[in-house]
Structure 1
Amino acid sequence: MKEQTIKCPQCGQIIELNQALSSQISFEIEEKLRLEFNQRFKDEIGKREEKIKKEKDEEIHVLVKDLREQLNHKSDKLKDAQQKELDFLKRQRELEDREHAFKLEMERKLTEERSKIRSDVSMKLSEEHRMKDAEKEKQINDLRRQIEELNRKAELGSQQSQGEVMELELENVLRQTFRHDNIEPVPKGVKGADVMQHVYSKSGQLCGTILWESKRTKNWSDGWIQKLKDDQREVKASIAVIVSAVLPKDVSYIGNNEGIWITDFSTAMGLAAVLRTNIIEIAQTQNSMMGRNEKKDLLYNYLSSQVFRQRIEAIVESFKAMNDDLESEKRAMYKIWEKRKKQIDRVIQNTSEMHGELEGIMGNALPPVQMLELPLDDIDNNSDDEYTT
């Protein structure tokens, strides 16, 4: 086996090595190289781990920073939303408070207005209550005759007869309600309309004409509108009104269709009063504006406008409500009057009987009572009146 040699690096001499020494040196060199390699590997691994850790730390830092920014942004949005919700609730509460205050104020005004109306009506009824007994009896008798007349007319069987009754009743009520006006049937040839109301002012000036047509049928017909408009042009009436037992679906108490007023019998007189007042005011305005055609055109446009119709409806509705309250209170007062009259009659009757019994016992020694010494004819007449009542 060939001997291994090494060369001295100092002197250059060749030195022979045996196998054991060579193996030991090789082992030491390999061990040293292995240790150096392991150390370098470990150092490289540490550097790489440090670099990776640093990169991860930077990524985590960026991610945390981004998450914090998102959290802060969402927190700001949440605060804004909460503030907006708070402002909304505050405004809503303010609106509710205002609405509640407005309702309270309107209720207070309505209560005051009702109290005023009741006070006025009560005062008027108190004044009427102090009227003479003769006037009260006359009113009761007039009401009794009117009721009997209405009952008699209600017994008419045919629809034509009922229509004639309604026409006559409308004419009579208009004549009794508006004594200054001239109420007359329509001229012959005007087949649809029934009554003409010539409106006069307090000074006796003819201001205009209201043409009335009464309908007592089971169904409403739109054809009545055009026919009454033709009749209105023929008689040259200022306003035309249909009083019908059955109204169109879109009309409750009063309405206006193509310039024709529509109402039922219960609100007819209220509508008549408002229309009559407006006719007089228009006539007076026209007299004061002679030669002013432009203002007349404006006035005509106003009378045919939606605003004028709504004002008329509002006035008539208020009139009807007040009239219904007045009628209710009037019926209550009549009931009280009848009750008191019967109480007074019982007192007078018992007093008369007691006076008669004492007179039978004491004879002429009992002083006469003039009110109880009425002639026999007067007593019979009073008895007949009571039976009639």
Structure 2
Amino acid sequence: DKKLAELEATLKTRDEKLTEAQQQQAEFLKKQRALDDEKREMALTIERKIQEGLDAVRVKARSEAEDGLKMKVAEKEEQIAGMQRQIEELKRRAEQGSQQLQGEVLELELESLIVSRFPMDIIEPVAKGEFGGDVLHRVVGPAGQPCGAILWESKRTKNWSQGWLGKLRADQRTAKADIALMISEALPPGVETFDLLDGVYVAHTKCAIPIAIMLRQSLIELANSRLAQDGQATKMEQVYRYLTGPRFRHRVEAIVEKFTDMQEDLAKERKATTRLWAKREAQIQGVIESTVGMYGDLQGIAGKVMQEIEGLEVLAIEASPPDAE
């Protein structure tokens, strides 16, 4: 009976606690519902206040815009222009990076295309910081003999630049290549697919491999013909071949180009020196005339008492105009 009484007491206590917990939960739910209602009411009140504030701001802005509309429009236009300039600068930088990336991709494509088409030849990509060009193509004959080299340069731009030719010729001399070949999507005026300009072969990208086959075959045939004459070549014949070959022409072209640059620099220096001499001569003439004039003024004031200065007398005679006599 005692244990039963204890259990009933425990059960009663638990029932009381459960009832209290349920009341607390109900109270909590009630408060939560009230809080949610308050939040919704507050949000609605805030939205109303914001809307009222926006309406007031719109009215105030409309009234202020009537006075300062032009100034604000000018400021906005200046801001827009500044943003457009920034956008253009970012586009230009992005295009430069994109063009550089496209050039590297084109160089890799060109190298892969040459390697796959001429597997027996030696293809050497030109490292950055060395002489120009993209790929140095060393032609190997059927018997394994070296037959010459082709320096490839690839361009992927919209506009043609005439300065590319001179640079590629200089790179050709540095690389000691027999032929310089430029592959470009943009061609010079008057060139549709292929041409030889100033010693450089220029071709469209779609003609790259056919042109390379032709140039490669010409190098192989020239090397075979030299090989056949090697046994009977004399010193005079070697000199003749050197004088009539591309290497001597490259050397002479390099010398002529340097002399042309020196001649242009000399002409510029001559013009600058002549202009400087003329300026100094005018300054000296002005000083002489001023000195002679001052000497004449003093002679007019002092008369014969003033001693004559022989050098100024001579300068006065030289500076006087011919009609003065």
- Classify the TM-score, shorter chain: 0.3 to 0.5
Greater gyration radius: 1
- Please report the TM-score for the alignment, with normalisation by the length of structure 2: 0.42
The higher-RCO structure (CA 8 Å, 6+ apart) is 2
- Please report the TM-score for the alignment, with normalisation by the length of structure 1: 0.36
